Amino acid sequence: MHIAPDLQLPSLPEVTLRALDACHQDENYRKISEIVSADTALVARILALANSALYGPSTPIRSVDQALLRLGTRRFHTLVLTAALRQLLFELGGDEWQQLRDFWRHSLTTALTARALATLTRYPEPDEAFMLGMLHNIGELIAIKTPATEAKQHYLDHQSDIAAELVASWGLGPMAADAMRYQQALPSELRDAGHLVKLISLATRLALSDAAGIAAAGTMFGLNEELTREINRRIGHEVSGMAASLGIPLDEEYCGESASRQLKQTILRQAMANQALNLADLTGETEDVLAETVNSLTLITGLPALCFGHTGDNLVLLSGTIGDIPELAVTAKPGGSVLTEAFISGLPVSLGERSPTVLDRQLLSLLHTPSMLAVPVNSGGNCPGVFALGTDNEHLPTTLELAGIFTGQLSTVLANRTPAATGTEGLDQEIARDRLRKQVHEVSNPLTIIRQYIYQLRGKLDDADVHQDLDVIRDELDRAGNLLLQMSHTDTTEQGDDGVELNTELESLARILEDSLFSSENRNLKLSLCSEPTQVRAGTTRIRQVVINLVRNAAESLPDSGGKVELRTSSPVWQNHRTWVELEITDTGSGIPSDIRDTLFSPAKTTKGEGHSGLGLSIVKQLVDDMEGIIACRTGQEGTTFRILLPAASHKKNETD
């Protein structure tokens, strides 16, 4: 029986609700990944989309983190909302709700166990083991939503083959498919099987917490009984914690009807907010859009509302749904009112039982209500405006949810607006950017001179404590220089349609890095850039952070007698069935000490002194991972080379969202 790779499967409504809330709250992708990873249906959906033809012949996704980075927040939010809508189509009965909860617990237990075993036995991709643990019994999930008894039994009888077929169709490779196919093989038959196959097979057995699983751990990996039971205990505690955080009861009968109703209400409110927002004119200036949308907010909440826009140092009343609007401008600084508190904190603030200020009383008089809720619009790191809603506190939770959904969608609209500057406006912006670059360069010069004097002073003093203090000062100067460098590039977008030209970025960075790190005659920064295009599918800011960190480390590793740091690019580079752009950063220092090589990319104490946090290379590793790149290090007595592979940007624009 053929299984379509783009499956529509049920999730526990509590998980879908939490995923929707995480998207609505703009939580970071790691938090979203943690929620999504705990649900087999969502993992299947995200893998099917991330590895689909929509993204061309790119490297297969082997973890939820990678899938989220490829999809992007907006597309993933749409995926979760679509999955939530489909949840409403599944009509599950009492026994099926119980089966779904038990399935969720077993699949999550297996996944966490697989990751723990992968780490313990040094399998290089623990996240891959986790993901396959979530998918190993997907046939059972298909059976739960299948009404026909004969078909249901077929899925239950052929779970391993179904999982193998789906994993293969998602392009996860033959080893992953084998891990699914042979998960029920006898432990004695798996002694010399592939590492991943043994991991998944043992994880499925240990998830049952029986004696056979304990024995299998010894047969496959030589794990003793005490260690295996401790793994089981820890995983059980972790699953219980996850269930508690989502509101899923594990020790009593389960029925998802209540959570399903809540999910239905959430989806309905999001649809209402979206429909109401579309009724407003969203094409004008930001103040005009805010003034327009106050009517839409009143439409979905049924409450009178006022809209304040942020102009200069004031909050100015732009519009409202209360009749005639008086002229009113108040300071945006803290004053104790719910309006200014919401603006400054970026969070909704209710008057509730607090004592109202004079401004609060003025607004209550305009709204003709006993209480009030102030909801800020957060867009692109700032707050362009605040809505004040008249309430009676009785239906505050519902009002807060509706207003939050509405302002969240409005914030997205405002953040995605890219008005093009034309004529004199565009010229003025370019002049301002050029002036900023020159000012940054001028400020960098005295910072460089101060840094060199600190370096010379350090050499003249023998006091170790003073050395540490000077190192801290030098670090802070470097941080200030890096911030200035980022300021000088605020005019560029994070990533264009055609990617980022790596060579161009390196040339731009080199001019400033030479002034700050290589001003001495015996220290040189050399660029060896290839002649081929070096467009990469990565963010400009992340590339700069990686290069600044690595070049700074390389410069500091050079001996007092001097040396050279070289930046070399190659393009295109073919590796692992994928096209990359290669960046090598090489120094002629003394190499990385042996005692820190094993924890090179982990936060740890460095050789630079107590003033350093040791976070530099761990940050670099995380940034490269976020760009779906690869980083490796080669070091010896003659110096160190960091080799970075970044995904080459495709020149074919994707017209499908």
Q: What is the pLDDT of residues 188-202, one digit of tens each?
A: 898 889 999 999 999
Residue 305: strand pairing partners: 389
pLDDT of residue 148: 76
Lowest mean pLDDT among 127-136, 306-315, 428-437: 428-437
Q: Which residue in 370, 421, 418, 415 sits closest to 395, CA to CA?
A: 370
Mean local confidence (pLDDT), 440-450? 54
Q: What is the pLDDT of residues 293-313, one digit of tens each?
A: 888 888 888 889 999 999 888
Confidence of residue 495 (pLDDT cuts 50, 70, 90): very low
DSSP string, 448-484: HHHHHHHHHHHHH---HHHHHHHHHHHHHHHHHHHHH
Contact 110, 204 (CB under 8 A): yes
Cα(449)–Cα(154) distance, integer angstroms:
76
User: Phi-psi region for residue 56, left (φ > 0), alpha (ψ -120 to 50) or beta?
Assistant: left
Confidence of residue 492 (pLDDT cuts 50, 70, 90): very low
Whole-number Cα distances in Å, 399 to 37, 268, 340, 348, 392: 31, 14, 20, 11, 10
Res. 33: pLDDT tops 70: yes
Q: Which two tokens stand for residue 354?
A: 């607090």
pLDDT of residue 490: 45
In degrees to the nearest 10, what's the CA dihedral of 54, 58, 59, 65?
-50
Contact 320, 372 (CB under 8 A): no
Angle at 317 between CA 315 and CA 322, to 5 degrees: 145
Q: Is 231 or 401 the better-scoring residue by pLDDT?
A: 231
pLDDT of residue 447: 59
Q: Is 295 or 148 the better-scoring residue by pLDDT?
A: 295
pLDDT of residue 491: 42
pLDDT of residue 80: 76
Res. 554: pLDDT tops 70: yes
* Residue 590: strand, helix, or coil: coil
Residue 413: strand pairing partners: none
The top-scoring range by mean pLDDT among 396-410, 439-453, 506-520, 613-627 is 396-410
pLDDT of residue 202: 94
Lowest mean pLDDT among 209-223, 507-521, 579-593: 507-521
pLDDT of residue 160: 92
Res. 562: pLDDT tops 70: yes
Q: Which residue in 20, 71, 10 sits closest to 42, CA to CA?
A: 10
Q: Which helix (H) or strand (E) holds 639?
A: strand 639-647
Confidence of residue 164 (pLDDT cuts 50, 70, 90): very high
pLDDT of residue 481: 59
pLDDT of residue 21: 81
Q: What is the pLDDT of residues 399-417, one digit of tens each?
A: 888 888 888 888 878 876 6
Res. 147: pLDDT tops 50: yes
Q: Which two tokens stand for residue 463?
A: 């006091």
DSSP one-letter code for 314: E
pLDDT of residue 349: 93
Mean local confidence (pLDDT), 232-239? 91
The top-scoring range by mean pLDDT among 74-78, 104-108, 280-284, 487-491 is 104-108
Contact 543, 505 (CB under 8 A): yes
Q: What is the pLDDT of residues 587-604, one digit of tens each?
A: 999 888 877 777 777 654
Name the percent of the chain lying above pLDDT 90: 27
Confidence of residue 419 (pLDDT cuts 50, 70, 90): very low
Mean local confidence (pLDDT), 458-481? 65
The sign of the torsion formed by the CA atoms of 402, 405, 409, 414 equals positive
pLDDT of residue 421: 41
pLDDT of residue 68: 75
pLDDT of residue 395: 76
* Residue 350: strand, helix, or coil: strand
Q: What is the pLDDT of residues 54-108, one digit of tens each?
A: 555 566 677 777 777 777 766 777 777 777 777 776 777 778 888 999 999 999 9
pLDDT of residue 651: 42
pLDDT of residue 26: 66
Res. 52: pLDDT tops 90: no
Name the percent of the chain lying above pLDDT 70: 80
Q: Which residues contact 176 (CB under 8 A, 6 or more apart)?
A: 62, 128, 132, 167, 168, 196
Q: Is 521 exposed, middle or buried (0-12, 13-18, 19+ CB in 10 A)?
A: exposed
Res. 203: pLDDT tops 60: yes
Mean local confidence (pLDDT), 163-180? 90
Confidence of residue 212 (pLDDT cuts 50, 70, 90): confident
pLDDT of residue 449: 53
Q: Which two tokens stand for residue 26?
A: 């703009």
Mean local confidence (pLDDT), 226-234? 91
Confidence of residue 511 (pLDDT cuts 50, 70, 90): confident
pLDDT of residue 443: 55
pLDDT of residue 267: 78
* Residue 566: strand, helix, or coil: strand
Residue 80: count other Cβ atoms within 10 Å of its Cβ: 22
